Amino acid sequence: MMRIHVLGYWGAYPAPGEATTGYLIETDDQKVLLDCGSGVLAQLTHICPVSDLSAVVITHHHHDHTADLGVLGYAVLLSRLMQQRTRELPIYMPAGNAELRRELQSEPLIQVHSIDEQSMVALDEMTLSFRKTVHPVFCLGVRVELQGKVFAFSSDSSFSNTLVELASNADLFLCEASMYDGQEEQAKKAGHLTAGQAGVVGAEAAAKRLVLTHYPHYGDLTQLKEQAQQRFGKTVDMVHTRQVFTV
């Protein structure tokens, strides 16, 4: 069983007291941080200390997905100095941002590993595979499988058949919905989805459950749910801070 903790879900920048993209995937044996946006580390500490993390996975090098990586490195340093953590923390992320990589690897307990769409990460019985999304920078959607259950995360992307493949028959598909229906051209140029497009991807992938993330800071957010449901054909969920989904 996987428990998906919502740490942050805003696009671009966090709302007051909240965070941009970040999720904790928890099993009986693993705690994997998926993206580390602005404010994510503060939300994580409500659930577990950094010393408990098994691994970190970063989907792409945009600030709303990586802003807290630097302070995460400081937290690992302090955890080591206080002898709370003695084992290495692997961080899996796409190549790029050499300065950030050097800074993270200056901490002896952090080991940075490059990933791409051909990569496979195995953490005990849990496996993570990746698909390249359509975004202005190299970006990976993530598919997590454990004991026959599937959690898929779109990360950031405009509409593509690759997302359908990523989310195929997923028990839980966490999909970005950065814009509203009627903004399709803007969404395509920015490398994002409208809510209706998220619904289409979920339906074509035959995902069992669709949950929206990466919200805009304007408009009526309830419309995102309504627009996605019209295309998905069944109930779509929104997220809130420290909500937990079970897969």
- Quick one: which H or E segment has residue 98? helix 98-105
How far is it, in rounded angstroms, from Cα 26 to Cα 108? 25
> How is the chain split into domains, by residue range?
3-246
- Looking at residue 143, what is its pLDDT? 99
8-66, pLDDT tens digit by residue? 999 999 999 999 999 999 999 999 999 999 999 999 999 999 999 999 999 999 999 99
127-176, pLDDT tens digit by residue? 999 999 999 999 999 999 999 999 999 999 999 999 999 999 999 999 99
- Looking at residue 22, what is its pLDDT? 99
How do 89-93 and 55-57 pair as beta strands? parallel
DSSP class per residue in 17-76: T--BSEEEEE-SS-EEEE---TTHHHHHTTT--GGG--EEE-----HHHHTTHHHHHHHH
163-176, pLDDT tens digit by residue? 999 999 999 999 99
- Looking at residue 98, what is its pLDDT? 92
- Looking at residue 150, what is its pLDDT? 98
Side chain identity, residue 179: M
- Looking at residue 193, what is its pLDDT? 98
- Looking at residue 64, what is its pLDDT? 98
pLDDT-derived band at 85 (thresholds 50, 70, 90) equals: very high
The hierarchical CATH code for the domain 3-246 is: 3.60.15.10
